[in-house]
Structure 1
Amino acid sequence: MVKVQKLTENDGRPRARDYDDVTQEFMATVIREYHARLCTQAPMPDHAQETVLLSASWARGCQVTSVNLARSPQLVKLVTIRGSQIRGQLKTKLRPLVEAVYGFHSSQSKSAIKKNRALAEELKEGMNFAFKVGFRYGRCGFLKAPLIQKIVNMMWFANKHDDGVMFPDHFKPFPHPALALVLTGIECCIDEWATGTRMDVAFTIQEYRGMFESHLNCLREFEEATKQYGVLSGICNKIYEAGRFVATFVCLSLELTATCP
Structure 2
Amino acid sequence: MYDYSNDHVVRSTKWRRKSSKEDVLDPVVVKVQKLVEHEGRPRTRDYDEVTQEFMMTAIGEYHARLCAEAPMPDHLAETSILDASWAWARKATGVNLARTPQLVKIVTSRGSQVHGQLKTKLHLLIEVIFGFHSSQSKSMIKKNQSLAEGLKEGMNFAFKHMAADEGKRRGFLKAPLIQKIVNMMWFANKHDDGVVFHKHYKPFPYLALVLVLMVIECCIDEWMTGMRTDIPFTIQEYRGTYESHLKCLHAFEDAMKDYDVLPAICTRLYEAGRIHSSAALLSAPMEVTVSAQVIATAIKEHEEGSTMEDESD
Q: Which TM-score applies when normalising by structure 1?
A: 0.93
Q: Would you say the 8 A contact 1:192–1:200 is kept in 2?
A: yes
Q: Would you say the 8 A contact 1:94–1:186 is kept in 2?
A: yes
Corresponding position of 1:220: 250
Structure 2 unaligned spans of 5+: 1-28, 281-313
Q: Give the Cα–Cα distance (whole angstroms) in 2 for the partners of residues 200 and 84 of structure 1.
A: 19
Q: Kindly report structure 1 stretches of 4+ aligned residues shifted beyond 4 Å.
A: none
Q: Give the Cα–Cα distance (whole angstroms) in 2 for the partners of residues 190 and 83 of structure 1.
A: 24
Q: What is the number of residues matched between the two proteins?
A: 250
Counterpart amino acid of residue 75 in structure 1: L
Corresponding position of 2:199: 169
1:194 to 224, 245, 250: 224
Give CA-to-partner distance per residue, 1:25-75, whole Å, 9 cap, x none: 100000000011011000110000001100000001101111111111111
- The yes-or-no answer on 1:105 pairing with 2:106 is no
Give CA-to-partner distance per residue, 1:120-169, whole Å, 9 cap, x none: 11111111110111124731110011000001000000111111111221
CA RMSD of aligned residues (A): 1.2
Q: Secondary structure at the match of 1:132?
A: strand
The alpha carbon displacement at 1:210 in A equals 1.6
Counterpart amino acid of residue 65 in structure 2: R
Q: Kindly tell me: are residues 52 and 197 of structure 1, through their superposed partners in 2, closer, same or farther at Cα, counting changes over 3 Å?
A: same
Corresponding position of 1:38: 66
Corresponding position of 2:76: 48
Q: Give the Cα–Cα distance (whole angstroms) in 1 for the partners of residues 137 and 262 of structure 2.
A: 42
Counterpart amino acid of residue 233 in structure 1: P
Q: Give the Cα–Cα distance (whole angstroms) in 2 for the partners of residues 249 and 241 of structure 1.
A: 10
Corresponding position of 2:185: 155
Equivalence map 1:1-261=2 (5 Å): 1-136=29-164, 138-248=168-278
Q: Would you say the 8 A contact 1:40–1:176 is kept in 2?
A: yes
Q: Secondary structure at the match of 2:98?
A: coil
Q: Give the Cα–Cα distance (whole angstroms) in 1 for the partners of residues 214 and 63 of structure 2.
A: 18
Q: Would you say the 8 A contact 1:43–1:83 is kept in 2?
A: no
Q: Secondary structure at the match of 1:248?
A: coil
Q: Which TM-score applies when normalising by structure 2?
A: 0.78
Q: Give the Cα–Cα distance (whole angstroms) in 2 for the partners of residues 13 and 144 of structure 1.
A: 41
Counterpart amino acid of residue 125 in structure 1: E
The alpha carbon displacement at 1:249 in A equals 6.8
Q: Would you say the 8 A contact 2:59–2:107 is kept in 1?
A: yes
Q: Kindly tell me: are residues 209 and 33 of structure 1, through their superposed partners in 2, closer, same or farther at Cα, counting changes over 3 Å?
A: same
Report % sequence identity: 69
Corresponding position of 2:292: none
